[in-house]
Amino acid sequence: MNKTPIKKIKSWYTRFQISKSPQMNLVWGFFLYTLIGFLLLALPIFHKGELSILDSLFTSTSAVSTTGLVTVNIFESYNFFGQFIIMVLIQIGGIGYMTLTTYYLLFTTKRITHWHQRVIGAEFTLPNTIKIRDFIRSVITFTIIMEVLGAIGFYFAFAQHGMTGLRAIWFSIFHSVSAFCTAGFALFDNSFESFSTDVWINTIISILAIAGSLGFIVITDLWYRLRGRTKRLSFTTKIISYGFLALLGIGTLFFYFGEPLTAESNSPWLLSFFQAMTAMTTVGFNTVPIGELGLPILLLVTFLMYIGASPSGTAGGLKITTLTALISVLKSRLFGQQQISFLGRKIPFERLYVATSTFILYTGIIFLFTFLLSFTESFPMDKILFEVASSLGTVGLSTGITGDLSVGGKLLIIILMFTGRVGVLTFGFALLARSSSEELSIKSDDLAV
């Protein structure tokens, strides 16, 4: 008798899901988790002090979208249970709500429906060659292994700085999840600036963030290669790996030679690598005060945040694959080539079409929101642009203006974080397209739920 209302809601929600396009389902899913997180975080029992309704909405959106921008200090504003909720929201957002529900289905029904495959495909833009089931299993296994190893690593690292007991255990788990999901939430009041020269901590964060952001496709692909299941890396994995290394190298070099702050550091190369890494993986931890960077390097970091990393991982941004497609279009035009290709491989028209649309929309949104924030805020343009690129790319780096934003400004950033997590094209399509709901409802009897 007790289960009836829950069953009713479940049944209603299933019918609701079926009536919407896969894209709209993603939007509703993220919205639902954000809403639940907001309602929980708004409860005073999870607070250490006074917190506004808007700040709770901001924190919840930032956590589910794995952005990490904060208007309040997390450790000083939320008690342990509040912090725990934030970590859960990060975990849900990071792996993706649809991956989790599909995982649930995988181990309860032993099969995945056509419909769920479509939804997953919409989120992760999978090449068709990789099987969904292996993919999901790899995601979960990999996440658990990495986060456990990361937490152990953090525990010993923090111990060297005199942190012990329950506090050390909690900080280790929280930051491991936050790093692997590229969320960038920190319990320290200045992110990881106090650990800027600690090679051990820098390494742990970098490994977790690169693994999480490079993406499950790349990791799966590399894993298959290592176990000898395939003889060659897929084209996508190659592009992402090479592109990531190239941009990371360029970013580190520019930072080292272009940023005066490195001269004051004992570990200038580590500092340069870490800030380039944090922007590209969109983890968003920082070891130097971003607000003190010179304009050239602030623009460089903005560019790295704009590009981001892999389309399959937890990172935001335009993605390296999109950048590759754009470079290919331009290259073939400028060199007068008949075919649009990269590294000798022809790129399908559909991919170019998606890449171009994403580029137009992503760039347009960045300009539009910089324009809108220039009305609501009185900060200089570089800081506003940085905040916009950081929130849409779900990076979470900030020059320090987040807490001082106006109410309108905070709402605009909330919209950007949410849009960035869902994906600009997916979000736009969900809102505007006459959904293929007819087709879906016809096939809905395939559903195993």
Mask for 252-281, x = binds a copy of itself (CB under 8 A): ------x-----------------------
> In angstroms, what is the minimal distance from the CB of 68 to K ion?
4
Contact 290, 279 (CB under 8 A): no
Contact pick of 14, 164, 363, 441 for a copy of itself (by CB under 8 A) = 363
Does residue number 52 form part of the binding site for a copy of itself (CB under 8 A)?
A: no
Instruction: Say which entry of a copy of itself, K ion, none residue 436 contacts (CB below 5 to 8 A, set by partner kind).
Output: a copy of itself
Q: Strand, coil or helix: what is 103?
A: helix
Three-state DSSP class for residue 47? strand
Quick one: which segment of 72-80, 118-126, 139-147, 368-376 binds a copy of itself (CB under 8 A)?
368-376
Is 400 a residue that touches a copy of itself (CB under 8 A)? no
Q: Toward a copy of itself, which CB reaches closer, 85 or 385?
A: 385
Q: Is 166 in the site for a copy of itself (CB under 8 A)?
A: no
Size of site (CB under 8 A) for a copy of itself: 39
Closest-CA residue to 29 (of 122, 114, 106): 122
CB-wise, 151 or 430, nearer to a copy of itself? 430
Nearer CB in complex with a copy of itself: 121/207: 121
In which region does residue 130 sit, left (phi positive, over 0), alpha (psi from -120 to 50) or beta (all else)?
A: beta
Angstrom distance (rounded) from CA 377 to CA 176: 34
Backbone torsions φ then ψ of 422, nearest 5 degrees: -70, -30
Distance CA 447, CA 449 (A): 6
Cα–Cα distance, 208 to 356 (Å, whole number): 31
Which one of a copy of itself, K ion, none interacts with residue 434, CB within 5 to 8 A by kind? a copy of itself
Cross-strand bridge partners of residue 192: 190
DSSP state of 344: T
Separation of alpha carbons 370 and 262, rounded Å: 29
Q: How far is the CB of 329 from a copy of itself (least distance, A)?
A: 6
Contact of residue 285 among a copy of itself, K ion, none (CB under 5-8 Å per partner type): none
Any contact of residue 425 with a copy of itself (CB under 8 A)? yes
* Whole-number Å distance between alpha carbons of 127 and 136: 14
**Least distance (Å) from K ion to the CB of residue 228?**
35
| CA–CA gap between residue 56 and residue 46 (Å, rounded) | 11
Near K ion by CB under 5 A: residue from 82, 96, 212, 284: 284
Interface stretch with a copy of itself, choices 143-151, 263-271, 307-315, 356-364 (CB under 8 A): 356-364
**How many helical (H) and strand (E) elements, i.e. helices and strands, does the chain have?**
20, 3
DSSP string, 189-232: EEEEGGGTT-HHHHHHHHHHHHHHHH-HHHHHHHHHHHTTS-SS
CB of 58 within 8 A of CB of 414?
yes
Residue of 265, 357, 437, 444 that binds a copy of itself (CB under 8 A): 357
Nearer to K ion, 95 or 168 (CB): 95
Tokens of 193: 């600036």
Query: Which residues bind to K ion, rule: CB under 5 A?
Result: 68, 182, 184, 282, 284, 396
Query: Which residues bind to a copy of itself, rule: CB under 8 A?
Result: 258, 294-296, 299-300, 303, 326, 329-330, 333-336, 353-354, 356-357, 359-361, 363, 367, 370-371, 374-375, 380-382, 385, 425, 428-429, 431-434, 436
